Amino acid sequence: MKHHVVFLDRDSVKAEIRSLNFKHTYEEYSKTSFNQIVPRLQQATIAIINKVQLNDEMLVKLPKLKMVAVAATGYDCADIAACKIHGVEVANIRNYAVRTVPEHVFMMILSLRRNLIAYRQDIENGVWQKSDQFCLFTHDICDLYGATIGIVGNGAIGQATAAIARGFGMRVIFSSYKSLSEDNVESVPFKVLLARSDIVSLHCPMTPDTRDMIGINELRIMKRNALLINTARGGLVNENALLQALDEGLIAGAGFDVLTTEPPESSHPLLNVNRPNFILTPHVAWTSVGSMQLLAEQLINNIEEWVAGNPQNLVT
């Protein structure tokens, strides 16, 4: 069988992608709008997608499609139940961002715990220059040593985040939207983690169970001096609730790399949070040069192994 491979959003992966090692035809598009998905996949047996959506209504119209290679770890872009019904197998990327995402997490944590942005603003506003002593005490600086980080999700990225935390002398606890049974971690119920943690970092997928897993009630459980870090999926946290929590001082601050809608509308409320205790980055925690090249290599491996009859990284 000669496969026809179509990559619908090539610009979403900034890396060299090598040629597949089997007979095939190939098309790629820099990006694909919703109305272009079905026409562009009409002859495809293998689709490569990152954030392009595939749902049941589309799959009905794509009888030739047999495999979807997701160029990301998160696979909520594809309706997995519908794929199973239509005999389409889905593979995703595993463990490629285990260095870059945890490093991004700690960039945010350190910036917030040490009030980096606030002190930078003081310098820009001339506060240090007008000081009558050599240093400023305008904002508290908190060490990481001895603090508790609660990690929601015990996968490779969650574990890598824990390893860095232990290097700082932090106490690590885990929780999950599912039960944890590993012997080498301290796991607690989700609400206990929220109440005990100085920092909460999210590392779990977007599913119906995890959508809005942190709302205003969960934010009220957290310590008033706690930080909330989300480098996983925007929909894990109710964004209106987060804004309320920041306004009311329910938590000390937050660092987000993701939003529910990406790219966001210019009117998105979190884009206008001009305060030193909130950091928003544009979904770039995963995008180091090294991690994206690892992703590209695994993406091709997933397709080649599936064609060879040895599928790997299938979503079940």
Q: 180 versus 62: which is more confidently predicted?
A: 62
Please say if 283 is a catalytic residue: yes
**Binning pLDDT at 50, 70 and 90, where does residue 249 land?**
very high
Closest CA to 48 of 19, 68, 33: 68
The class level of CATH for 100-280 reads alpha beta
Q: How confident is the model at residue 206 (pLDDT cuts 50, 70, 90)?
A: confident
Please identify which of the residues 196, 203, 233, 239 carries the catalytic annotation. 233
The predicted structure's pLDDT at residue 183:
53
Return the pLDDT at 1: 81
pLDDT at 3: 97
pLDDT at residue 207 in the model: 87
- Cβ within 8 Å of residue 176, ≥6 positions away: 152, 153, 154, 187, 190, 204
Distance CA 259, CA 212 (A): 12
* Distance separating alpha carbons of residues 169 and 147, to the nearest angstrom: 8
Q: Is 10 a catalytic residue?
A: no
Note the helical H segments in 147-238: 156-167, 190-196, 216-221
Q: What is the pLDDT of residues 88-116, one digit of tens each?
A: 999 999 999 999 999 999 999 999 999 99
Q: What is the pTM of this model?
A: 0.87
CATH domain 3-96+290-307 topology: Rossmann fold (3.40.50)
3-96+290-307 and 100-280 share one fold: yes
- Residue of 171, 211, 283, 304 marked active site: 283
Q: What is the mean pLDDT of the chain?
A: 95
Check 57, 182, 186, 262 and give the catalytic one. 262
pLDDT class of 184 with cuts at 50, 70, 90: low
Q: Does residue 24 have an active-site annotation? A: no
pLDDT, tens digit (0-9, with 9 covering 90-100), for 67-76:
999 999 989 8
Domain ranges of the chain: 3-96+290-307, 100-280
